[in-house]
Each structure stands twice: as structure tokens, then as C-alpha cells.
């Protein structure tokens, strides 16, 4: 019973942290609130410097294995062209982003993966392009999502939450020992609860990145409805995903529903970027026959 109380205390204190926030976000388009102040527990720019070094090392390793696509690779040219259109619309989300040294590279790997490190270091794997047969709109959705993680400083936020959780668990263990209970058992129970809380925060980060990414892509002239087709494609190749409550990513159906919920906010941005009337937008057509048109 006492262990459950400690776990509940840790979870409740962690869940309060997103309410303490800073930085405004664009007023037009999607609304996601402000960034958690817990990211401030990590020194400003610390993760960006570490990310730049790690990214450089990753690119050097890939080059030594002939897995780094050259600048004249058609897919590299394509990715960088999409990034060039997207990045200007990413800058309003984070004042630091205008000073980032943005990079986009392509790695030869069967992994269905892409990422944007803190500081604007973007990498795509050939596996995600080839396996999912991504259209330009779908690439923009993936890229917008990954850029959104960096813009919203989710890495620093998670690091800050981890620091806070560890401090809370240690504090609870010390308090338990002071009261005559087994501090190690309390610490173990508290750590388990904190780990589950961090998984939930990661799922929240993924959902927020989806929404911010839709906004950025739509402003750049990419159809946000491609997000639905993208996750339907993902569903075909990711049938053995872990249970939702133990995954850092929202379930596919939940993700699609959340994307659809924000169509009223992002479709006008897309129509404006294409200079067409919202009512005249044709449905989004996937390049895979089993994926239905998205309206």
C-alpha cells in the first residue's frame, strides 16, 4: 500500500510539470500549448552540441561503409528540396532554430526510420523511403514530425523529466527510511512508476510532434492529409507493434484519429499555400492502391 502511494506521488508530481511552461507558439494553425520548463534542467544548447558531434560521427561511419548517399543522389536532392521548403515555416516555433546549422542526409539502411536531432540535424534511411514508397507529401509529414521534436526540445524535456523523476524517487526512498520502511523497495517501486510515466510522456511528445509537423508541412504546401495515408502504410508493415501502454508511440488508429482531428486547423493553411479555395481541394491520393483516398 505504501509503495502504491509513493508511485502515485511520483506520477502526480511528474504529470504537473507540463503545466509550467515558457515560449509562445504561432497563433494561426494548430494549438499545442507551451513547452515544459523541465527542459531548463538541461543547460541550453548542451544537447545541440552533443547531437552535432554524434551526427558527424554517424555520417563519418556511414561514409566509411559506403552507406552515406552522395550530394548528387536523386533522393538526397529530393529530401533537401523538401527541407528547404519546410524549414522557414519551422523557425517561428523556436527562436533558437534560426541559428541552427541545418543538415539533411540519407543513409543506406533497411531501417524504417528518420530523425532530426537537436540543432536541426536531419537523417533519413533508405528503408523508410523504399519500403513505404513515400510521396513528397508523405516525406514532408515525416520530416515535419521529426523537426517538431527538435523544435519543441523534446530531448531536453525528457532529460529534465528523468532528472526530476530520479530526484523524486531518491527523496521518497530517504523519507521512507526516515519513517522506518525499506527505502530500496520504495525506490524500486517508485522507479517502475516513473518509467511508466516517462513512456506516457514520450507518447505525448509523439502526438505533439505529429500536430506541429502537420502545421509546418501544410504551410510549406504539402498536403497534411498525407499523414493519414502514411500511418495506414505504417500499419501494413508494423503489424507486430508492442501494446499501446508499453510503447513510446501512440497506436496507429489513435494517431490517425488525432491527425484527422486537426484537419480543420491545417487544411486552410495548405489551401492558402496552394492558392486555392479550401472547398475545391481534391482528396489526397496515395500511390499505393490499398490506401483509400483521404478527404
Q: Which of 79-93, 108-122, 144-158 is predicted with the least confidence, judged by mean pLDDT?
A: 144-158
The residues facing 46 across adjacent strands are none
pLDDT at 127 over 80: yes
pLDDT at 186: 39
Quick check: is 24 in a domain?
no
Write the pLDDT tens digit of every residue in 46-70: 788 999 999 999 999 999 999 999 9
Q: Nine-digit cell at 256?
A: 490517425
Residue 240 pLDDT level (bands cut at 50, 70, 90): low
The whole-number pLDDT of residue 160 equals 53
Residue 15 resides in a domain: no
- Is residue 260 in a domain? yes
250 has pLDDT over 90: no
Q: Phi/psi zone of residue 209: left (φ > 0), alpha (ψ -120 to 50 degrees), beta?
A: alpha
Can you give the pLDDT at residue 159?
63
Q: For 194-225, what is each residue's pLDDT tens digit?
A: 444 444 547 888 899 999 999 999 999 999 99
In a domain, 285, yes or no: no
Q: Which of 199, 282, 157 is nearest to 11 (CA)?
A: 199
Domain ranges, residue 252: 35-280
Determine, yes or no, domain membership for 291.
no
| Positions marked active-site | 146
Lowest mean pLDDT among 112-116, 194-198, 248-252: 194-198
Distance CA 191, CA 217 (A): 38
Q: Is the pLDDT of residue 193 over 50?
A: no
The reply to whether 107 falls in a domain is yes
State the pLDDT confidence band at 117, using cuts at 50, 70 and 90.
very high
Q: Does residue 96 sit within a domain? A: yes
In this structure, is residue 13 part of a structural domain?
Answer: no
Confidence of residue 28 (pLDDT cuts 50, 70, 90): confident
Q: What's the total number of domains in the chain?
A: 1
pTM above 0.85, yes or no: no
Amino acid at each position: 500500500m505504501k509503495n502504491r502511494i509513493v508511485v502515485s506521488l511520483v506520477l502526480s508530481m511528474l504529470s504537473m510539470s507540463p503545466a509550467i511552461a515558457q515560449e509562445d507558439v504561432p497563433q494561426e494553425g494548430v494549438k499545442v500549448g507551451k513547452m515544459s520548463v523541465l527542459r531548463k534542467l538541461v543547460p541550453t544548447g548542451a544537447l545541440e552540441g552533443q547531437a552535432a558531434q554524434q551526427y558527424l560521427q554517424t555520417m563519418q561511419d556511414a561514409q566509411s561503409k559506403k552507406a552515406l548517399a552522395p550530394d548528387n543522389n536523386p533522393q538526397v536532392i529530393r529530401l533537401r528540396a523538401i527541407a528547404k521548403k519546410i524549414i522557414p515555416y519551422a523557425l517561428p516555433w523556436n527562436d533558437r532554430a534560426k541559428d541552427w546549422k541545418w543538415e539533411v542526409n540519407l543513409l543506406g539502411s533497411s531501417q524504417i526510420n528518420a530523425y532530426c536531432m537537436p540543432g536541426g540535424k536531419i537523417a533519413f534511411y533508405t528503408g523508410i523511403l523504399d519500403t513505404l514508397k513515400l510521396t513528397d507529401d508523405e516525406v514532408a509529414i515525416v520530416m515535419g514530425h521529426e523537426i517538431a521534436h527538435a523544435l519543441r526540445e523534446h530531448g531536453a524535456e525528457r532529460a529534465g523529466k528523468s532528472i526530476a523523476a530520479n530526484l523524486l524517487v531518491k527523496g521518497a526512498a530517504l523519507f521512507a527510511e526516515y519513517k522506518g520502511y525499506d527505502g530500496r523497495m520504495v525506490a524500486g517501486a517508485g522507479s517502475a512508476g516513473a518509467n511508466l510515466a516517462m513512456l506516457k510522456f514520450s507518447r505525448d511528445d509523439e502526438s505533439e510532434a505529429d500536430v506541429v509537423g502537420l502545421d509546418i508541412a501544410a504551410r510549406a504546401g504539402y498536403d497534411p492529409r498525407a499523414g493519414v495515408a502514411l500511418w495506414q502504410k505504417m500499419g501494413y508493415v508494423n503489424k507486430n507493434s508492442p501494446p499501446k501502454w508499453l510503447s513510446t508511440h501512440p497506436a496507429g488508429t489513435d494517431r490517425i484519429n488525432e491527425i484527422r482531428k486537426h484537419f480543420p486547423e491545417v487544411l486552410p493553411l495548405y489551401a492558402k499555400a496552394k492558392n486555392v479555395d479550401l472547398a475545391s481541394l481534391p482528396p489526397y491520393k496515395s500511390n499505393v492502391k490499398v490506401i483509400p483516398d483521404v478527404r
